[in-house]
Chains A and B, each alone.
Chain A
């Protein structure tokens, strides 16, 4: 081999040698990439710096690191500013996984399978784990000795493991506040043992010091001791004093808790707890017999309800077996029986389905509740049937409510629906009502908080109908607010409510235009108007309401009687089933057309919708006016109506072709009795209010009568023109509308040399017909003619 050939071969070997590390780095990068590792921002600043990296699993970012630095190469030391681990769905959630206990047992039996690594130290400034506070963590390995130290402002823990000897130790302390913000006290633990393949032994002692709740003075020490050997364990726990549980409740261990078992489950347990709080007390006893069957008993009295519960079965790591667990609640108005078959409470789903039944008052209810864990939370569905106690028939409630327990918060999920079926309250038919939650409702200590949508199909009674209504309700515990619209009536109702132990109170506000469709139950027809009202209400076995209401621009009609331009304001009060209205300012009507137009009507008014009491009544009619201090309807007594300055010319003008001319004014008093559906007048008297003048106008009829009869012609000539100085009419009107009048006229005929005239006549007229016909002129003339 020549020297040149040797050099060439050496050069190839050197080239290959130099390429190998690069190939190895390239291969490592390819493998990492294939396993979902992504890296960004490679740099060199006093060492290799990786600005960011992520590890992806099944499209989920399982880990994210920031600012990874290699600060020393030999032995290697790394730092990372922040490491975030995410709880990604694992294959176990896609494919059934072996039971946790089996996995744990297998792992402990197999020994620690820690990967080979060079001596190293990794320091993470902030390790973020789901449901954990941020931790500072250091992991180091030297000569197969592993050591992990985690610290937090509220505590620290250190675990060491010698891979060669299998010895392990653990020790730490943590403030209870770090576990839950409202807890107080400190927990210390210390343990040691050995972990080799097929062999795991050890003991762990924990001491809780001054444990309690922030708002309660009670503090207690607790001890826990666990011994583990050959896949068996024993636990003993004791409370030195009653432990505060929050909300005024205290837990007392009447005996030390003892339990033993294997990694596969609990073989024996003994527990005797007593809880006592402001609402009552509970005793929980758990015991197992020699065959490993557990018996659980619960008795107590909480918030006036008696609680009893029991269960018998086996508690295993894979789940529960045995009889259904039973819980019974009994009180004055409530009886509830809950049954939970335990067969479904098993790994890996750990799902439960409970059935419940009972009664509230006289209303029975029943249903089911399902529950299952989902990614660290709990969720399920509650379905129930219930009947509203104040419905006399029907009114079944069908509820389908998805629920969730997430981050310590109970939620009734979106799309939850409560449907109230058609039902009767007395003789009023309540059409179906649907309540849906568009967003999850929170269930807290004060009750539900959130908003729901309401769709009510209406209310039907024999004489009236309330059309369909839609709206929104917001609830915050025992307070609620409802806004309802009735599209058919364009009505808007706002209601607030606060529940209390005796019932409920709240406010109500309503605004609506008035229309004929609202008049089905009324004796008159609403044609137009605007109604508004507001007030407060109360429910204490019966409804109470008080408030104010206003009506504007009101037009109503009774048959062909039309009232328009109505305005008014009144106080409203509902008490003992009676609704009363009392005007706060005069009720006014611009016009009332009863055949004869009446204008500027005003009065005070008080009514319970059965009797109507008008005061200071005033109305303008026929150029004069009438007034009455009080008019009650219906009434059995006569009530005087004062009539003043009625213009007789106005009376004549009611007729389109008048046959007489009248001048002057009359007035008097008309005592009236207003019956339920009639008017009676008795002892009425009208007299002239100053001089009057009467002139009979030429007409074909009068001329014909005069030509036919000499006496008639004489009478017509005598009465043809009269200056009247005395006019008096005594009036009585029966309930059928017939008016009997006795009229005396004294005057002179100026066309006959002031011939004195005294004219007496009786007049009979149906006033109801008269008012309708507007033919007063004809009706007056006819008796004059008939007088002959």
Chain B
């Protein structure tokens, strides 16, 4: 479990770096995308750039979740859910997050 937590911390740090490169923070700030409980980015307001950005980051997240799941012997969904909780916790105020009921709300 410690190993997985360590990986998740690195993963989230990586996403932050990616965010700087792919302008994820701007997209979140503009309310285009938001974090979801399932550990993946969701599209709040659809634009081509927002969908492309979400697809790109989610593909990288999926690969990372799978690697962590394999190394820790747990399902990918479990890793993703844990990462989703942490991502929502780290989301800045004013950005969108998705509730377990599927509603988009500003944090």
Q: In the bound complex, do residue B81 and residue A462 qualify as a contact, i.e. CB atoms below 8 Å apart?
A: no
Cβ distance A425 to chain B, nearest Cβ, rounded Å: 9
CB-CB under 8 A for A422 and B73, given A462-B40, A462-B55, A462-B58 = no
B87 an interface residue at 8 Å Cβ cutoff? no
Interface window among B7-15, B44-52, B89-97: B44-52
A462 close to B69 (CB less than 8 A): no
Among A460, A519, A523, A525, residue most surrounded by chain B Cβ atoms (within 10 Å): A523
Contact of B86 with A by CB under 8 A? no
B73 touches A460 (CB 8 A): no
Give the docked Cα–Cα distance between A772 and B78 (Å): 15
Within 18-76 of B, Cβ neighbours of A (below 8 Å) are at 40-43, 46-48, 51-52, 54-55, 58-59, 62, 66, 69-70, 72-76
- A560 located at the interface, meaning its Cβ lies under 8 Å from any Cβ of chain B in the complex: yes
Task: Let me know if A393 and B47 touch, CB within 8 A.
Answer: yes
Pick the contact of B59: A465, A558, A560 (CB < 8 A): A465
A559 engages B52 (CB within 8 Å): no
Chain B: CB-nearest residue to A465: B55
Q: Give B5 Cβ to nearest chain A Cβ, in Å.
A: 15
Most B Cβ at <10 Å: residue of A394, A424, A768: A424
- Tell me the nearest residue of chain A to B100, going by C-beta: A676
Complex alpha-carbon distance, A249 and B73, angstroms:
76
Q: How far is the CB of B106 from the nearest CB of chain A, in Å?
A: 19
Which positions 447-482 of chain A face chain B at CB distance < 8 Å?
460-465
Stretch at the interface among A2-10, A134-142, A426-434, A542-550: A426-434
Please measure, in the bound complex, the distance between the C-alpha atom of A369 and the C-alpha atom of B72, giving whole angstroms. Answer: 65
Verify A561–B41 contact, CB threshold 8 A: no
| A520 sits at the interface (CB 8 A) | yes
| A392 close to chain B: CB less than 8 A | yes
Which B residues lie within 8 Å of A557 (CB)? 70
Interface assignment of B79: CB less than 8 Å from any CB of chain A: yes
CB–CB A559/B47 < 8 A: no
Residue among A423, A463, A524, A772 with max Cβ neighbours from chain B (10 Å): A463
- Decide yes or no whether A677 CB sits under 8 A from chain B: yes
Smallest beta-carbon distance B70→chain A, Å: 5
Instruction: Say which residue of B48, B54, B81 sits within 8 Å of A677 (CB atoms).
Output: B81
How long is the Cα–Cα vector from A561 to B66 in the complex, in angstroms?
Answer: 11
Residues of A within 8 A of B47 (CB): 393, 424
Query: Which residue of chain A has its CB nearest to the CB of B59?
Result: A520
Cβ–Cβ contact B73 & A559, under 8 A:
yes
**Chain B residues closer than 8 Å to A465, beta-carbon distance:** 55, 59
Instruction: Report if A462-B78 is in contact (Cβ < 8 Å); known contacts: A393-B47, A427-B46.
Output: no
> In residues 519-564 of chain A, which contact B (Cβ within 8 Å)?
519-520, 523-525, 557-561
Asked whether B105 is an interface residue with its Cβ less than 8 Å from the other chain, the reply is no
Chain A residues within 8 Å of B73, by CB: 559-561, 595, 772
Instruction: Tell me the interface secondary structure of chain B in the complex.
Output: helix
Partner of A429 from B48, B58, B62, B66 at Cβ < 8 Å: B48
A400 to B91, CA, bound (A): 48
CB neighbours of B80 from chain A (8 A) = 523
Q: Which residue of A lies closest to B51 (CB)?
A: A429
Q: Which residue of A is nearest B53, CB measured? A: A462
How distant is the Cα of A523 from the Cα of B70 in the complex, in angstroms? 13
Q: Which of A590-622 contact B (CB under 8 A)?
A: 595
Are A523 and B55 interface neighbours, CB within 8 A? no
User: Given the interface contacts A460-B52, A462-B51, does A558 sit within 8 Å of B43 by beta carbon?
Assistant: no
A: number of interface residues (CB 8 Å): 30
In the bound complex, do residue B55 and residue A524 qualify as a contact, i.e. CB atoms below 8 Å apart? no
Chain A residue with the shortest CB-CB distance to B52: A460
The smallest beta-carbon distance between B81 and chain A, in angstroms, is 6
Q: How far is the CB of A770 from chain B (nearest CB, A)?
A: 12
Among B51, B72, B76, point to the contact of A460 (Cβ < 8 A): B51
Q: Which of B51, B55, B66, B72 contacts A424 (CB 8 A)?
A: B51
Given the contacts A429-B48, A559-B70, A560-B70, A462 and B54 also touching, CB distance less than 8 Å: yes
Give the distance in Å from the alpha carbon of A188 to the alpha carbon of B76 in the complex. 88
A171 to chain B, nearest CB (A): 73
Q: Which residues of B contact A560 (CB under 8 A)?
A: 69-70, 72-74
Against B, the Cβ 8 Å flags (1 = close, 0 = not) of A403-429 are: 000000000000000000011101111
Q: Given known contacts A462-B55, A520-B58, is B69 in contact with A559 (CB within 8 Å)?
A: yes
Measured between beta carbons, the chain B residues less than 8 angstroms from A464 are 55
Complex: chain B residue closest to A523, CB-CB: B77
- Chain B residue nearest to A524 (CB atoms) is B76
A677–B78 touching, CB < 8 Å: yes
**Chain B residue, CB-CB nearest to A424:** B46
Instruction: Name the distance in Å between B21's Cβ and chain A's nearest Cβ.
Output: 19
Q: In the complex, A21→B99 CA distance in Å?
A: 111
Given contacts A393-B48, A394-B48, A559-B75, contact A525 B66 (CB under 8 A): yes
Contacts A523-B75, A560-B73, A677-B81 known; A462 to B48 CB distance under 8 Å? no
CA A462 to CA B47, docked complex, whole Å: 11
A426 with B46, Cβ < 8 A, contacts A462-B41, A559-B76, A560-B69 known: yes
- Across the interface, which residues of A come within 8 angstroms of B48, CB to CB? 393-394, 422-424, 429
| CB within 8 Å for A558 and B69 given contacts A424-B51, A462-B40, A523-B76 | yes
Compute how far the CA of A518 lies from the CA of B81 in the bound complex, rounded to whole angstroms.
21
Task: Write out the residue numbers on chain B whose beta carbons fall within 8 Å of the beta carbon of A558.
Answer: 69, 75-77
Residue of B nearest to A425 (CB): B46
Q: Which residues of A contact B58 (CB under 8 A)?
A: 462-463, 520
CB distance from B16 to the nearest CB of A (A): 19
- Kindly state the separation between the CA atoms of A219 and B7 in the bound complex, as whole angstroms: 89
Residues of A within 8 A of B76 (CB): 523-525, 558-559
Complex Cα spacing A426 to B78, Å: 28
Taken together as a complex, chains A and B put the C-alpha atoms of A584 and B33 apart, in Å, by 40
B40 touches A559 (CB 8 A): no
> What's the nearest-Cβ distance from chain A to residue B30, in Å?
16
Q: Contact between B75 and A460 (Cβ–Cβ < 8 Å)?
A: no
Chain B contacts for A426, CB-based, 8 A: 46
B66: nearest chain-A partner, CB-CB: A525
| Neighbouring B residues of A429 by C-beta, 8 Å | 48, 51-52, 55
Closest to A460 in B: B55
- Contact A559–B46 (Cβ < 8 Å): no
Which B residues are CB-close (under 8 A) to A519? 62
In this complex, what residue of A is CB-closest to B72? A559
Residues of A within 8 A of B40 (CB): 462-463
Min CB distance A526 to B, Å, is: 12
Residues of A within 8 Å of B54, CB to CB, are: 462
Given A429-B51, A525-B76: 14 more A-B contacts, CB < 8 Å: A424-B46, A424-B48, A427-B43, A427-B46, A429-B48, A461-B51, A462-B40, A462-B58, A463-B58, A524-B75, A558-B75, A559-B79, A560-B73, A768-B74
**8 A–B contacts from the bound complex (CB under 8 Å):** A461-B51, A462-B43, A464-B55, A465-B55, A524-B75, A558-B75, A559-B75, A561-B75
Q: Which residues of B contact A (CB under 8 A)?
A: 40-43, 46-48, 51-52, 54-55, 58-59, 62, 66, 69-70, 72-81
- Could you tell me which A residues sit within 8 Å of B by CB distance? 392-394, 422-424, 426-429, 460-465, 519-520, 523-525, 557-561, 595, 677, 768, 772
Nearest 6 pairs of A and B residues by beta carbon: A559-B69, A462-B54, A558-B75, A429-B51, A560-B73, A523-B77
